[in-house]
Amino acid sequence: MPAGLDTGDLIDRRYRLDRRCHTVGDRELWRATDEVLDRSVAVHLLAARTRSDAKALAAAAGRAGSVPDARWVRVLDVGTLPVGRKVTVWIVSEWVEGQTLTALVRREPLRDAVATHLVASCAQAVAAAQATGAHHGRLHPDEVLIPLDGHPRLTGLETHESLSADEMYDDVLGLGALLFAAVTGRWPLRGWHGLPPVGRGDGRHPRTQRRSVSKGVDEITATALDGGFPDARALVKALAQLPQTPLVGAVEEADPRVRERWHRIAWWVLPPVLVAGVGVAAWTAGSDLGRVPGADRATSATFPQSHGRGGNGTRLVWSTPPHATSFDPDGNGTEDPGGVGLAVDDDPSTLWSTDVYRGSPRFGGLKDGVGLLVDLGRAKTVDTARLLLSATGADIELRAGPNPPATATDLRLVAGRNATPTSLTLRLAAPVRARYWLVWITSLPRTGSDNYSLGIAEFTLLH
């Protein structure tokens, strides 16, 4: 844990840490309160290897904060905390409510005009950064946040190169890949796995994935991915020649009842895009720490509070959210790894989601299942599990055991149900004492014409 900080601690005698949202290695993302201005902010804590690394990272965050374009999530403050021979860098930025482009296109790709407008806005932000000499180096859909107003916000400017040892690439190439992902739901570049990879074709022309993509969008995407635009401004000019519809504009074309729902709950982009609900995320430099899938609308199901009782005398077996990881032994090892904590955060408006699979509810024939693995830290007795799911119709097993599993069958099957409702209670035949608990999904519900996925908004274990 960077600097050994915990809930309630103050950074720079100003920023109170309220809730740890995510941890990846030596990096943490917190929701915090600026006690001077009485507002929510995002705080990243990053353990630097050396003081030189810490200085470089702080300088990168400072450069990001100097870019004037409001489409970049603003860096508000930056500093360091000495911890023995190491240094923790802290970066404070805006707290932004919204969901990622990843979550948006997982459910269904965007219409051409909506995707063009969205990526054009991102390209304008990149052009503004390039004018100051700043760059990103690793744009992908997790770096694009879509707030409720439909205007995209970007994160990770300048700092990704300091944060990541992954392969970097030109920002115009990244913009081309964003456009490809927006209209296909697939990612054409290496090194990021938040969306399925290109399934066929050359990985440059989105029409090889979806024949409905227009020739204009197809040609501009391929040109960007081939390095045919000298800078982001040239890409902006090319996109300006194509039809564009803002996300808000797409809503305004809808039935008045849909517009009313926009104002009351969330927002909708008419078919082929249906975005169900509102995700809440903190987005700032290096957003791998705050990757959040889109959250489905909260259902009427009632879940116990973290420190309260669950009815009938039951109580949650944890007082603070446990460590959760995605479990994908038949795939690349992870399934939306950045969002897993949202399934155990006592907030039914956020969720962890599987990837989207096509062709079959059995994961497109690619694997036997995926799951959510919870480590309680030590063995605890459980007699009831509750799940709040994004859709009906999944097949789910609950498995438990004393040791971390390599495969699902390493853990004992203790409960299960097919064709699940959205609010599911699993009562064990007898209490089970175990440290590791796995929600193992063996069949997915349909979420589109030929798409299958499932989100877990809440998972609780009770005794």
Q: 372 lies in a domain? A: yes
Kindly tell me the sign of the dihedral angle through the C-alpha atoms of 348, 350, 354, 356.
Answer: positive
Number of neighbours of residue 301 by Cβ within 10 angstroms: 17
The confidence score (pLDDT) of residue 319 equals 83
Tell whether 283 is covered by a domain.
Answer: no
Q: Rounded to 5 degrees, what are φ and ψ at 258? A: -70, -40
Instruction: Kindly state whether residues 333 and 455 are assigned to the same domain.
Output: yes
Taking Cα atoms as reference points, which of 53, 157, 152 lies closest to residue 100?
152
Residue 463, token pair as written in the block? 């005794």
CATH at residue 72: 3.30.200.20
Which stretches does DSSP call E strand in 183-297? none
Same domain as 148, residue 212: yes
Task: Give the predicted TM-score (pTM) of the model.
Answer: 0.55
| Rounded alpha-carbon distances, angstroms, from residue 235 to 165, 204, 243, 272, 320 | 28, 16, 14, 25, 47
The pLDDT of residue 72 is 86
Nearest to 295 by CA among 456, 148, 174: 456
Q: Among 41, 65, 94, identify where a domain stops.
A: 94
pLDDT reported for residue 73: 84
The separation between the first and the last C-alpha atoms of the chain, rounded to the nearest angstrom, is 30
Number of domains in the chain: 3
How do the pLDDT tens digits run along the chain, 463 residues long? 565 788 899 998 999 999 887 776 677 888 899 998 888 888 988 877 666 776 777 677 667 666 767 788 888 888 888 766 677 888 888 887 777 898 888 878 999 999 999 999 999 999 988 888 888 888 999 889 888 777 888 888 876 655 554 567 899 999 999 999 999 999 999 888 889 999 788 899 999 999 899 999 999 999 999 999 999 999 999 999 999 888 764 433 433 443 443 333 232 232 222 222 223 333 333 333 332 233 332 222 333 333 344 444 568 898 888 988 889 888 766 676 667 888 888 777 677 888 878 888 998 888 889 999 999 999 999 999 999 998 899 999 999 999 999 899 999 999 999 999 989 999 999 999 999 999 999 999 987 667 888 989 899 999 8
- In this predicted structure, what is the pLDDT of residue 356? 79
Cβ pair 209, 184 in contact under 8 A: yes
Instruction: Output the six-digit token pair for 4.
Output: 């050994």
Q: Which of 140, 170, 144 is nearest to 155 (CA)?
A: 144
- CB of 289 closer than 8 Å to CB of 281: no
Q: Are residues 135 and 247 in the same domain?
A: yes
Which amino acid type is present at position 427?
R
Instruction: Look at residue 179 in the predicted model and tell me its pLDDT.
Output: 97
Could you tell me if residue 272 is inside a domain? no
Buried b (16+ CB within 10 A) or exposed e, 164-173: eeeeebbbbb
Q: Looking at residue 428, what is its pLDDT? A: 94
pLDDT at 248: 65
CATH number for 331: 2.60.120.260
Q: How long, in residues, is the chain?
A: 463
Give the pLDDT confidence score for residue 128 in this predicted structure.
87
- Distance of CA 5 to CAs 33, 325, 326, 338, Å? 15, 22, 25, 21
Q: In terms of domains, do 311 and 350 share one? A: yes
In-domain check, residue 277: no
- What is the DSSP secondary-structure string of 305-354? -TTSB-STT-BBS-SSPPEEEEEBTTTTB-SSGGGGGGGGSS-TT--EEP
Query: 364 and 410: one domain?
Result: yes
How many Cα atoms are found within 13 Å in the side-chain-facing hemisphere of 454? 29
Token pair recorded at residue 37: 């201005």
CA distance 169 to 171: 6
Question: Does residue 431 lie in a domain region?
Answer: yes
Q: Determine, yes or no, domain membership for 282.
A: no
Q: Write the CATH number for 187.
A: 1.10.510.10
* 202 in the same domain as 127: yes
Q: Are residues 87 and 108 in the same domain?
A: no
Q: Residue 32: which domain range? A: 2-94
**Phi then psi for 31, rounded to 5 degrees?**
-90, 135
Q: What are phi and psi of 352, to 5 degrees?
A: -100, 140
Phi-psi map region of 264: left, alpha, beta (phi>0 left; psi -120 to 50 alpha): alpha
CB 454 within 8 A of CB 353: yes
pLDDT at residue 250 in the model? 41
- Domain membership flag for residue 352: yes
| 46 in the same domain as 161 | no
Residue 17 lies in a domain: yes
Query: For residue 42, which of 55, 27, 26 has the smallest C-alpha distance?
Result: 27
Integer Cα distance of 124 and 120 in angstroms: 6
pLDDT for the residue 184: 95
